[in-house]
Chains A and B, each alone.
Chain A
Amino acid sequence: MSSNPHASTIVAGSQTHYTRTAVGLHWLIAALIVVALVMGWTMTDMAVSPQKLKIYNWHKWVGITVLWLAALRILWRVTHRPPDMVTMPAWQRIAAHALHGVLYLLMLAQPISGWIYSNAAGFPIVYLRLIPLPNLVAKNPQLAETWQEIHETLGLVLVIVVVLHLLAALKHAFIDKDDTMRRILRWLP
């Protein structure tokens, strides 16, 4: 631990934390993903009711919000230098990058797959009851079935990836006791 030069020393041009914008987006998106997953998990088994329709719509709105916030976040990520990683074995660094890459991809792919599924099932999306989004595909029951499976599978993959991401962060914080997790906890000293 004491052999980690980046943990205590601030090298010129490097940062110890993600920018406040990146940190804000990270936690906002994280919360929305959890909400969308929980709604997606429960709403499908609900009996037909007005509440079920409402939750379906909210699920779609939350998902679309994740989509544009993730797009914003990726834009921010490529235009702002992230903080340095603490020293760790190469395989861990590669695994971390790969996991982050998959997460970014899923934050875009999962809402889009839901959007396509909804359209194929004959339901256009009207974001927050205000903004009608364009239909990505025409109504097509067979296509709807295919995209339902894709959306459910990606949802499951997303759960697994989020859990891995969380476990890795906790491992760094509590087992390695390094500054990895601190980079995204801006409000902590």
Chain B
Amino acid sequence: MKRATMKRAALLVLGCAALSLVLAEDAGIDLPHSKISATFKQESVPVEAPFKKFSGHIRYDASNPAGATASIDIETGSFDLGDPSYNAEIRKQAWFDSGSYPFASFRSTSAKAISPTRFEVTGSLYIKGRSLTVTVPVTIVAAGLSTAFDGTLPVSRKAFGIGDPSWNDVIEDQVNVRFHLVNASPSN
């Protein structure tokens, strides 16, 4: 168990190093202008909270939408419910288990154009040691000199083992992950 964690940590360091190389090459996601949040429902009340730390890159060429790729890494420990005790709870083993699984990620495997401003990305969603194939519709929005990619991905907490079952009658299974990702303008 410990060894697996260390291995994962080593892989993560390698992954981050590789990612930073990639990021050095293309500008990656413009973090200050981008946003990833999760909206969950407690007692029918929709509550939206942001992930403060994430990184990644999206490659999209309007002349070849099917060639679009996306790779996103979200720090699970950066989920901010606006209250220290709830933030501590969500990082616990029953929820994100941020100690063992500091990152949730998405890796695209294919893309399909729907219209000039919309495309569909299929890929692997990796949360808490489980991986599921998901497809998410993405809307392309002009954002200054750059491009923004907007969308919502419904995620089942149960599918990824997020949350103690005792919460199930208070918090709905479906959580909507909303993203607004802006590609940093390519530097000269």
| Chain A residues within 8 Å of B, Cβ to Cβ | 47-48, 50, 53-54, 57, 121-126, 129-130, 139, 141, 144
Contacts and interface: CB of A to CB of B under 8 A. Distances in A.
State which size class the interface on B falls in. Answer: 10 to 19
Contacts of B86: 48
B44 A129 contact: yes
A122 B87 CA distance: 14
Contact of A126 (B44, B88, B167): B44
Contacts of B49: 122
Given A53-B171, A121-B83, 11 more contacts: A48-B89, A50-B167, A53-B170, A54-B170, A123-B45, A123-B47, A124-B46, A124-B47, A126-B44, A129-B43, A130-B44
Interface string B147-166: 00000000000000000001
B73 interface: no
A126 B44 CA distance: 7
A48 B85 contact: yes
* A-B CB proximity, top 10 nearest: A129-B44, A50-B170, A57-B43, A126-B44, A48-B89, A126-B45, A50-B167, A48-B85, A53-B170, A53-B42
A47 B88 CA distance: 11
A83 B46 CA distance: 46
Contacts, number: 40
B48 A122 contact: yes
A126 B170 CA distance: 13
B116 interface: no
A130 B85 CA distance: 28
A129 B89 CA distance: 24
Contacts of A121: 82-83
Contacts of B44: 126, 129-130
Contacts of A139: 48
Contact of A122 (B43, B47, B85, B171): B47
Nearest to B42: A53
A122 B82 contact: yes
A53 B172 CA distance: 13
A173 to B, nearest CB: 41
B169 interface: yes
